[in-house]
Structure 1
Amino acid sequence: MRKEVFDYIQKKKTLQNFIREQPIWYRKLSRNPEILQDLELASMYHYKQTIPHKVQKFQDSVQMASMMVHMFHTMKNMD
């Protein structure tokens, strides 16, 4: 693996962990160091850090909060 690619990966903990979990990326980068951006994208999808994942997580949180408020209103009306 090229030194600059290795140094870049060493600076980012998530990429280090991703390569440990998916060792095929080490081989891919050794053969084709230009796919570093593909590695980052694959890592983001793996750790669910993309914008669609973040939006979904936010929607789930809002839905949970809404359900809790509805439940509290229902409990209050029963008294």
Structure 2
Amino acid sequence: MRKEVLDYLERQKDLKQFVREQPLWYRKLTRNPEALQSLEIASLHYYKKTLPDQVEKFSNSVQMASMMYNMFQAMKTQS
């Protein structure tokens, strides 16, 4: 692998960890060092850091809070 690619991975700890967990990317980057952007996109999908994933996580949190609120309201009315 090229030195500049290794240096870039050293600076980006999450990408370095992703390459360790997905050795296919090590081979891809060795053969095609210009694939760094594809690596970053794949890493975002793998770690669920894309915008749709974040929206879904937020939505699930709001849904859980709403359910808890409704449960407390039901307990209050029963008392």
| Unmatched runs of 5 consecutive residues or more in structure 1 | none
Match of 1:72 in 2: 72
Matched residue, 1:19: 19
User: Following TM superposition, by how much is the alpha carbon of 1:31 offset from its aligned partner in structure 2, in angstroms?
Assistant: 0.5
What is the TM-score when the length of structure 1 is the normalising length?
Answer: 0.97
| 1:36-73, Cα deviation, whole Å (9 max, x unpaired) | 00000001100000000000000000000000000000
List aligned pairs for 1:1-79, cutoff 5 A. 1-79=1-79
Q: TM-score, normalised by structure 2?
A: 0.97
Q: How many residues align?
A: 79
Paired-residue identity, %: 61
Runs of 4+ in 1 over 2 A off after TM superposition: none
